Amino acid sequence: MSQTRLFSLKMNDGFFMPMLGLGTSAPPQVAKSEVEKAIKRAIDVGYRHIDSAYMYQNEEEIGRAIQMKIADGTVKRGDLFYTTKLWSTFFRPQLVQTCLESSLRKLQLSYVDLYLIHFPIAMKPGEDFFPKDTHGNIIFDTVDLCTTWEALEKCKDAGLAKSIGVSNFNCKQLEMILNKPGLKYKPVCNQVECHPYLNQSKLLEFCKSKDILLVAYATLGSDLRKKWVKKDNPVLLQDPVLNAIAEKHRRTPAQVTLRYQLQRGVAALAKSFNEKRLKENFQVFEFQLTPEDMQSLDGLNRNMRYFEEDSLSHHPNYPFHVEY
């Protein structure tokens, strides 16, 4: 069995997702050229799972890095698992493939491994990522998410995406897709904010019962420079319990939080563009947490989100009003 397969989770469509992925969302202060360098470094370190999105506006740089690492023989396209996401202004069924094709052009790829609905709220189509009226309020769109899902199914059938899934969905929203008449493909995963302060245990239990993988973002807390991040939350990696466990294992707090997710059967995205931390984060397969460690980390849960967007919170589909 290959090393990539060994550290992978099998999805409900038969494809495999590497358990540890590189997140690429970065605040505007980070130069796009840094993303390109980070992808090349990450592939050299051993990362094979790269997570991005149409909305991150970095897919040209990611594409260049991927093409360079294929050209120099480090990887083949089939070694990589690449995720992109459908942004909310493309939810009308006729726009779903357009968004994916735009990503593919920038990436210089013929397919992505995973295509996700980024957020369960539709916004007015157009050039603006967050279309607003004259009062500065977001202009939403009325689209049945089930019709959006059918358009994702067509992208899979067309070979543009090997697997399809969702992101930031709660149980109710997942059930809406799962109970859709004529459902052709189940979502393979639900990518959500997940870390010891928000361990998503109920959502994880629900997803496991439906054979849907949970993929965790903001696994290390989050970068306070990002627009959607609450600024007054405690810093996860400074937590004393987490640090005590890290010290016991002679590991970093980041390694422990990532290992925590992997031992729960959760795929984890870690975002770092720093070479030393990229290497450290990739060493999570070299140690194991004890049942007592896992219990202590479970005990840190406080249902605390780093990501909240007030401008969307009054929408009926806003997924974070409910615990799971």
Residue burial 147-158, b: 16+ Cβ < 10 Å; e: rest: ebbbbbbebbee
Residue 102 φ then ψ, to 5°: -65, -45
Location of structure tokens 């928000």: 198
276-292 burial, b at 16+ Cβ within 10 Å, e below that, comes to ebbebbbebeeeebeee
Does 118 appear as a known binding residue?
A: yes
Q: Helix axis angle, 253-263 relative to 291-298, nearest 10°?
A: 100
Determine which one of 56, 82, 197, 306 is catalytic.
Answer: 56
Q: Answer yes or no: 54 catalytic.
A: no
CA dist., res. 311 & res. 265, Å (int): 33
Query: What residues contact residue 257 under an 8 Å CB cut-off, 6+ apart?
Result: 195, 196, 219, 220, 236, 237, 242, 297
Residues annotated as catalytic are: 56
Binding site for substrate, by residue number, is 118
